[in-house]
Structure 1
Amino acid sequence: MTQRPELLAPAGSWEALVAAVQNGADAVYLGGKMFNARQSASNFDHDEMARAVEYAHVRGVKIYVTVNILLADHELEEALRFLHFLHNTGVDGVILQDLGLARLVREVLPELPVHASTQMTVHNLEGVKGMLEAGFKRVVLAREMDLQEIARIKQETGADLEAFIHGALCVCYSGQCLMSSLIGGRSGNRGKCAQPCRLPYQLVDQGGKNRVDPSEVGEYLLSPRDINTSAYIPQLMAAGIHSFKIEGRMKRPEYVATVIRTYRSLIDRALQDSGAYTVQEEESRNLAQIFNRDFSPGYFFGNPGKDLMSYKRPNNRGVRLGRVKGYNRQDKRVEILLEEPLRLGDGIEVWVTEGGRSGIEVNSIFIKGQPVKFAPAGALVGLPIPGKIKPGDRVFKTHDAQLMERARETFTSPRETRKIPLEFFVRARVNEPLYMQVKDDRGLAAEAYSGEVGQEALKRPLTREFLQEQLNRLGNTPFELARLKVELEGKVMLPMREINELRRQVLLALEQKRLSGTRPPRVGQSTLNRRLKTALAQLEKPAATWPEKSLAVSVTDLASLKAAVRSGADIVYFGGESFRSKGPVGEQDIHDGAEFCRRHKASLVLSSPRILHDAEFESFTRMLERLRDLPLAGILVGNLGLLNRIGNYSDKPVIGDFSLNIFNSASLLYLQEKGVTRATLSPELSLKQIQEMGERAILPLEAVVQGTLPLMNTRYCPVGSILGGMAPGKKCGGPCKDQKFGLKDRMGLIFPLEVDQFCRMHLFNAKELCVIEEVPSLLKAGVTVLRIEARREDPHYVARTVGHYRQALDRFLQGDWNEQRDREAKQDLAEQSPAGLTKGHYFRGVI
């Protein structure tokens, strides 16, 4: 029998929580006022959180709390105390992103169930295994995984897997997006994403020439459609997904009510008979009407290419209402032939040929010149709409007043929609107190006796029908009468108030039992303080002494490797993603690079791709085994799956890449326990934060100091989708080979993009990171290795850049800090970056 999946709803406000519960959610995820990835939502303070848990648990619904951002050292203790509050409040789990916080929770609050957030970018079998071994009870999978991958993971691990099945889709692998952070200072890893992916861009070639006509394709080249899997519920259940997650903590409660109500019906129908499963037309219409950017099943059935994207509109489309037929000049009304019903109070939008879009709330409708409140599909209506509207313009209904009102009733009415069935038993005898017992659907029971005894009835003795009527008056409670058993001996009577009071008592007692049955044993304050002291003490040890300061450079071609070594690089990162504009990196290249580095006394570290789906993972690890005897100085690891099993395939030192989001000292402890020998810090850290970490670093620290930083890593490729024709059933024509492309924004900045050997896109910052003047400050702060990111650059760039940093590092090591030479070097480096230089987050941070 197919396992019943959990329907998991979002709640960014109290109204959304009620909407989720009343419309059939099995669980709700929400955030507190701090430490969550939707800082713009209303969220819940401590009192609201406790109230939310009580409200949900009485009704049999679980509460998960998002604590899914990266945390700085100074925030860790406060975050742990917040988690302690959540545990004692009785939440059913917390969703975490930060590796360090997850490591500390194991020691400080082992009683608290933790879920691995999708922000942890878990996208392969070994990543899931690693999370289970780290103590996570559930893994929220990357949205880029297909059902075959998920089914295999479920089969091999039995893990509790959660996946997004409806709502907005991030174009980038979650946890790997730095776009909002680096171009606008609002970090997605801190819950403040400004959604630059929803802005217009143009696809340009290396010379800046536009390769796409925006009027034909659209301008929103990074804006995905919303996920909608309503047609595929049986397939999702068969794959073994346990928790069906609806995205939308920023959405209105009406959205939550409508989507949850619809998926509740769909899941129940699939459980009843998956073979005859269908989605009703009204259900599809309601999902589209409440909010859509057009729909896609996401990656569940493979890479949909351009069908994933909403190129022409980054926000709600609504439902197509019809086309403009003409304009009645006499009445000054636009005539529209309706394809859907229209009511007063609905909102519509006309996609006008000239001037964008024109939207109004419908305050008047005319049919044949007569005002009406409602017009059916097929009617020719006249509407007063301002703007330059022409025949043929499309019209969409973006707001359905009736649908919204139906949704609103579920979270504003005192009468509850969702009811818990109860079984009552009543026994009444003359000269004895009336006995009442109630049992719920979990088998929990409560009982009580009346304060007065039964009297001999002269006129109206108690009857089953009378008791049924009284006990069924449960309108404003979460309960409903399902069964009634009655034992009446003789003609007995009791006052109605006594029966009502008894009913109130047993229901209150039952509510308390339902609550106490879901609340775990509390962790006392003294226990917490003792555990905190022990756990945090591990992070307070002074830093060890590390090897001599070094200069590293990351490249993806053999010529650049040789240029780096000749110009003074101590360490070269080589391999990993091969960019199609430069050609593949083969095993022979790695052999030749290792030999070249050996001869020139440099260290070669093999890079791993930062994303490795299972088939790619197996291919890469087979290569690692073939390279066992090569004189490599280490493996650069950028994803949690490879980190979890790298020791099975290589005995070389492991260096953690910045894609692991190392943001605090506790994360270093996590990596050390995984065998990591050096850690590359998150590019979102400030110099001050690095200094604080450097004072007690348990691993050598590496920092990126130069290069165009990757803003996005996406399974979607705009080049292949737009120019290559990539779509379901259609392969890409490969326009990226030997060519470079970029995305140009409204300000004229061009963000370079590369396509790797897996046809994934890497989008880079327009401005180049350069902190050559800060080399002394970084080294004094505790950084051991300075890294130049030059994976997309040519040998000339590499030689020039490495040369400048070699000289700057040597000056520092020789005690000859020369600010004038650093300024001159920066001026020279600036000539390589037409868009300009940036110091990234070193002096602004994201906190």
Structure 2
Amino acid sequence: MEILAPAGSPEGLVAAIKGGCDAVYLAGKSFGARAFASNFTDQELEGAIKYAHEHGVKVNVTVNTLIKNSEMEEAVQFVQFLKDIGADAVIIQDIGLLKAIKDIPIKKHASTQMAVHSRAGLQWCADNGMDRVILARELTFDEIADVIKDSPIETEVFVQGAMCYCQSGGCLFSSIVGGRSGNRGECAQPCRKKYESEDRNGYILSNADMYCIDYLKKLDEIGVSSVKIEGRMRSEAYAYLASRAYSLAYKDPENPELEKTTGLLKTVFNRGYCHGYLDGVSSLVQATYPDNRGLFIKKVKVKNRTFSIKDTDLHTGDGISLFDGDMKIGGFKILTSGTDVTSPFKLQDGSYDLYRTYDPRIDEVKNLIGRPPKLTGDTKRSKVKVSAPKIERAKNPSKLSFYVSTLKILDIVMPYADRIYYDGKDFDEAFARCKGTGVECVMYLPRFSYKEDIPEDKDIPIMAHNIGQVEAAKGHRVYGSYFINMFNSFFPNDLHQTTLSVELSKSEIKDVISRYDGKVEVMVFGRLELMITRDPHLKNGTIKDDKGYVFPVYRDRFGFTHILNSSDLMLINYLDDLERSGVDSFGIDLRKRPVELATLVCKAFKDRDFQYNEEIKKLCGGTVNTGHYLRGV
């Protein structure tokens, strides 16, 4: 089993390799999911690969963002360049990019952003030229063991580092609310901010980091090919210590250096640790604080600025910090030996949380890493032509597709609908009511379903959210939701119809459609889903951010929690423009909505009648939005 470590910079590369890993992953200056890491120029990439290979270490390069039409040629040229300079693999998210690079002979790894969490997903990747899948972090250990049994492809599992609150590849919170797309490598980390709910306040979407060093043997036994350490945005000391700790734990677990190394790892970056979902489905949230505090030592009682460090492993030279809840009171370095420590600053009597934030041995690690060599190369990018010529699209009236979750709303929308995506427990009844009416009833699959339970009846159309569901639903008429992340016109024309990504702008939608010969849908109304999470602690209701925006929350019948946008997408004023662009149908989401609103929306969008706009806006809480249609990402 491979130990795979992060390299966010030349310093991080050297650190990870000296730590003892078998492979590193890193990024160029574009198309990487960590856009704010230092990353590597083309010349540095070539030098980094040469340096790694000289030390017997493989290099996987991330090209794992969604790619616009205008960027595709550059992205393909970059992948060709990576092949030319000897990269061992590329990590990708975009299905259109996968199609565009199918003839470039380089190993291709499916990013965790592809949300692969089923045997069917592994099979799709194997059938489509991929060599490895980085599995979704939402899987439990037992589910991983089941999914990868007799896998036709290599598998990789995260074991260390940040744990997204939302299912990877399905988060729109940063994009819709903050204007920075996580799917484009610019996540603003909304899950690390404070929120209020009906029964809980604090950092209630902030997960503790994964620390799964004690799972290495078990993961190896079930056949996992590679275990991955997250952390390209972290220091070179972290890269070394994480690489060293996991390499020792797997290859030399009796080494006396292991305990010291793990202790330093927990000091250099620590916002609380968990096993992810490997232990099973339970809350991973560490709601007290979202940032690095170092290693928690204990709760201390302070009197006259003095407290005891007896029975701790704190020593002279260690840096410590005191916190009261989520407020940092202050920090200082221990300068004297003994069991009592006195704060150099004013400190009220009381109880505080004590953390070690620095250990002098970390400086020894930095000295051991040293300066990186000059990473250079002289290979130039080849000029690779990638074209998606414009096509003539039939100018047909756009159809109306309604997302519905109850039979009551289904009966309201049927006179106006061409299609219904039914997301309710009583699908058979919904399907029966639509049969013979000319209204198509499509089964809306759960967004996460590692068993991929698809009805045997091939006459039932399916809405899929990921490639595993597409694979499992072969033989059915398959629709792709906006979570399948169609971002460009290179997206394969394998589905009956695909909903475009809601992160595309007006001009980008027009350009994609003008070069794509498949059917496309565009979302035009409803509360977009910002997050879906497996975390069980959020209840039905709302959460409110520090700006006063309120986001509806509901748990679905499969146990997953959905967080919706604070206001509704409303593009009724742009329907004519979209229809002229060649949009085949419009998506209108009326799930969890009242009868009065559903009735008005049906009338307004069927007749494109703007007289209902103000009343709809009022029923939506007083505000609506145009999403990314006028701004893009």
The match for 1:751 among 551, 574, 584 is 551
| Structure 2 residue aligned with 1:684 | 503
3-state DSSP of counterpart to 1:174: coil
**Does structure 1 residue 837 correspond to structure 2 residue 620?**
no
Tell me the alpha carbon deviations over residues 527-553 of structure 1, each in whole angstroms, 9 at most, x when there is no partner: x74xx4xxx44x214143264321111
**Mapping 1:436-585, distance limit 5 Å:** 525=382, 529=384, 532=385, 536-537=386-387, 539-545=388-394, 547-566=396-415, 568-575=416-423, 578=424, 585=425
Contact 2:64 2:94 in 1 (8 A): yes
- Taking a change above 3 Å as real, the CA distance of residues 311 and 344 of structure 1, as seen in their structure-2 partners, is same
Return the letter of the residue paired with 1:336: S
3-state DSSP of counterpart to 1:393: strand
**Does structure 1 residue 589 correspond to structure 2 residue 429?**
yes
| Structure 2 residue aligned with 1:813 | none
**Mapping 1:789-800, distance limit 5 Å:** 789-800=589-600
3-state DSSP of counterpart to 1:221: coil
- Give the Cα–Cα distance (whole angstroms) in 1 for the partners of residues 498 and 426 of structure 2: 26
Quote the offset at 1:807 in angstroms: 1.1
The match for 2:177 among 180, 183, 195 is 183
Return the letter of the residue paired with 1:129: Q
**Mapping 1:74-113, distance limit 5 Å:** 74-107=70-103, 109=104, 111-113=105-107
Tell me the alpha carbon deviations over residues 585-604 of structure 1, each in whole angstroms, 9 at most, x when there is no partner: 22442343324xx33x3222
- Give the Cα–Cα distance (whole angstroms) in 1 for the partners of residues 35 and 399 of structure 2: 39
Return the letter of the residue paired with 1:19: A
Question: Scaled by the length of structure 2, what TM-score is found?
Answer: 0.94
| Structure 1 residue aligned with 2:293 | 317
- Give the Cα–Cα distance (whole angstroms) in 2 for the partners of residues 559 and 315 of structure 1: 46
Quote the offset at 1:792 in angstroms: 2.1
**Does structure 1 residue 297 correspond to structure 2 residue 145?**
no
- Give the Cα–Cα distance (whole angstroms) in 2 for the partners of residues 391 and 348 of structure 1: 17
- Give the Cα–Cα distance (whole angstroms) in 1 for the partners of residues 296 and 431 of structure 2: 59
- Taking a change above 3 Å as real, the CA distance of residues 546 and 113 of structure 1, as seen in their structure-2 partners, is farther
Quote the offset at 1:790 in angstroms: 1.5
**Does structure 1 residue 225 correspond to structure 2 residue 208?**
yes
The match for 1:407 among 365, 370, 380 is 365
Quote the offset at 1:259 in angstroms: 1.1
| Structure 2 residue aligned with 1:165 | 159
- Give the Cα–Cα distance (whole angstroms) in 1 for the partners of residues 194 and 126 of structure 2: 40
Contact 1:558 1:593 in 2 (8 A): no
3-state DSSP of counterpart to 1:245: strand
Quote the offset at 1:238 in angstroms: 1.1
**Mapping 1:117-132, distance limit 5 Å:** 117-132=111-126
Quote the offset at 1:158 in angstroms: 4.4
- Give the Cα–Cα distance (whole angstroms) in 2 for the partners of residues 161 and 835 of structure 1: 48
Contact 2:117 2:450 in 1 (8 A): yes
Tell me the alpha carbon deviations over residues 765-824 of structure 1, each in whole angstroms, 9 at most, x when there is no partner: 00111111111111122212011112222333221111111110xxxxxxxxxxxx52x3
**Does structure 1 residue 145 correspond to structure 2 residue 152?**
no
**Does structure 1 residue 611 correspond to structure 2 residue 611?**
no
3-state DSSP of counterpart to 2:216: helix
Return the letter of the residue paired with 1:301: D
**Does structure 1 residue 665 correspond to structure 2 residue 489?**
yes
| Structure 2 residue aligned with 1:431 | none
Contact 1:320 1:340 in 2 (8 A): no
The match for 2:355 among 380, 396, 409 is 396
Question: Scaled by the length of structure 1, what TM-score is found?
Answer: 0.71
Tell me the alpha carbon deviations over residues 229-250 of structure 1, each in whole angstroms, 9 at most, x when there is no partner: 1122211111211111000010
Return the letter of the residue paired with 1:381: V
The match for 1:21 among 17, 20, 40 is 17
3-state DSSP of counterpart to 2:277: coil
**Mapping 1:706-721, distance limit 5 Å:** 706-719=525-538
Quote the offset at 1:337 in angstroms: 2.9
Return the letter of the residue paired with 1:563: I
The match for 1:61 among 57, 61, 71 is 57
Quote the offset at 1:153 in angstroms: 3.1
Quote the offset at 1:323 in angstroms: 4.0
Quote the offset at 1:133 in angstroms: 0.7
**Does structure 1 residue 647 correspond to structure 2 residue 618?**
no
**Number of residue pairs matched?**
629
Return the letter of the residue paired with 1:840: G
**Does structure 1 residue 257 correspond to structure 2 residue 240?**
yes
- Give the Cα–Cα distance (whole angstroms) in 2 for the partners of residues 640 and 237 of structure 1: 26
Contact 1:773 1:826 in 2 (8 A): no
- Give the Cα–Cα distance (whole angstroms) in 1 for the partners of residues 479 and 411 of structure 2: 22
3-state DSSP of counterpart to 2:170: coil
- Taking a change above 3 Å as real, the CA distance of residues 257 and 386 of structure 1, as seen in their structure-2 partners, is farther
- Give the Cα–Cα distance (whole angstroms) in 2 for the partners of residues 834 and 753 of structure 1: 16
More helix by share: 1
Mean Cα deviation higher: 759-768 or 777-786:
777-786
- Give the Cα–Cα distance (whole angstroms) in 1 for the partners of residues 246 and 529 of structure 2: 37
Return the letter of the residue paired with 1:565: M
- Give the Cα–Cα distance (whole angstroms) in 2 for the partners of residues 386 and 775 of structure 1: 63
Contact 2:302 2:352 in 1 (8 A): no
Over the aligned positions, Cα root-mean-square deviation in angstroms equals: 2.3
Contact 1:53 1:91 in 2 (8 A): yes
Quote the offset at 1:224 in angstroms: 0.4
| Structure 2 residue aligned with 1:358 | 329
The match for 1:116 among 95, 107, 110 is 110
- Give the Cα–Cα distance (whole angstroms) in 1 for the partners of residues 549 and 629 of structure 2: 22
Contact 2:114 2:466 in 1 (8 A): no
- Give the Cα–Cα distance (whole angstroms) in 1 for the partners of residues 501 and 346 of structure 2: 51
- Give the Cα–Cα distance (whole angstroms) in 1 for the partners of residues 322 and 53 of structure 2: 45
| Identity value in percent | 33
| Structure 2 residue aligned with 1:435 | none
3-state DSSP of counterpart to 1:826: helix
Contact 1:343 1:401 in 2 (8 A): no
Tell me the alpha carbon deviations over residues 728-758 of structure 1, each in whole angstroms, 9 at most, x when there is no partner: xxxxxxxx6xxx4111111222110111111
Quote the offset at 1:399 in angstroms: 2.1
- Give the Cα–Cα distance (whole angstroms) in 1 for the partners of residues 306 and 614 of structure 2: 61
- Give the Cα–Cα distance (whole angstroms) in 2 for the partners of residues 40 and 239 of structure 1: 35
- Give the Cα–Cα distance (whole angstroms) in 2 for the partners of residues 743 and 547 of structure 1: 42
Contact 2:396 2:582 in 1 (8 A): no
Return the letter of the residue paired with 2:9: S
**Does structure 1 residue 334 correspond to structure 2 residue 310?**
no
- Taking a change above 3 Å as real, the CA distance of residues 162 and 405 of structure 1, as seen in their structure-2 partners, is same
Contact 1:266 1:279 in 2 (8 A): no
Greater Cα radius of gyration, structure 1 or 2: 1
| Structure 2 residue aligned with 1:693 | 512
- Give the Cα–Cα distance (whole angstroms) in 2 for the partners of residues 278 and 790 of structure 1: 60
- Taking a change above 3 Å as real, the CA distance of residues 524 and 770 of structure 1, as seen in their structure-2 partners, is closer
- Give the Cα–Cα distance (whole angstroms) in 2 for the partners of residues 709 and 263 of structure 1: 40
- Give the Cα–Cα distance (whole angstroms) in 1 for the partners of residues 130 and 216 of structure 2: 26
Quote the offset at 1:82 in angstroms: 0.9
- Give the Cα–Cα distance (whole angstroms) in 2 for the partners of residues 181 and 168 of structure 1: 19
- Give the Cα–Cα distance (whole angstroms) in 2 for the partners of residues 772 and 524 of structure 1: 45
**Does structure 1 residue 240 correspond to structure 2 residue 218?**
no
| Structure 2 residue aligned with 1:482 | none
